[in-house]
Amino acid sequence: MASEVSDQIAKLESSPRSELLVLWQKIFNKTAPVGMRREILVRFLAYKIQENAFGGLKSSTRAELVRIAKGFENADSPSKKIVRRKLRSGTRLIRPWRGENHEIFVTDSTYEYRGVGYRSLSEIARKITGTQWSGPAFFGTKKTNLLQKGGDA
């Protein structure tokens, strides 16, 4: 089945636009949006072919994508928005600071540090350092979290 899917996707690249539009109608049961570029048609069709063959995204992944999209909708700046991936409950963060390891446990609603629940990592970073630190920067969860709208992660 995987080789059939691969062959079908490979064929998309060389198919004329008219065939892509017919395939779109067949797969989605509606016409493709007017003005959609050929490259986008190919990508959508390739995804849908794989989804039909192997299954779609997990519901948790869909929910995370919706959460990120809503973050962009509510962004003050249309060009940049920081989207922090929610840390999963049960995650343990360890940060050495001045010769001592500081351990944080992520729960569904708080970050626990030394038996006390905090609303943000920044609160804990300030408690540990005594200065204004960004919690995600202090604990190393920030580096891969800056997404630029229309750019790469």
Domain boundaries, the chain: 2-54, 92-148
The C-alpha atoms of residue 93 and residue 111 are separated, in whole angstroms, by 10
pLDDT (tens digit per residue) in 36-76? 999 999 999 999 999 999 998 888 888 888 887 887 776 66
Upper half-sphere CA count for residue 42 (Cβ side, 13 Å) = 13
Q: What percent of the chain has pLDDT over 70?
A: 84
10 Å Cβ neighbour count for 23? 20
CA 92 to centroid of chain Cα atoms: 21
Locate 69 and state its tokens: 């999209």
Residue 146 clears pLDDT 80, i.e. is over it: no
* Run of H or E residues at 39: helix 38-54
Which of residues 134 and 74 earns the better pLDDT score? 134
CA distance 17 to 23: 10
**Which pLDDT does position 105 carry in this prediction?**
93
128 contacts 139 by C-beta, under 8 angstroms: no
Mean pLDDT over 109-116 rounds to: 92
Q: Residue 83 above 70 pLDDT?
A: no
Average pLDDT over residues 129-133: 92
User: How far, in Å, CA of 29 to CA of 15, rounded?
Assistant: 19
CB burial string 116-144: b at 16+ within 10 A, e below: eebeebbbbbbebeeeebebbebbebeee
Is pLDDT above 60 for 89? yes
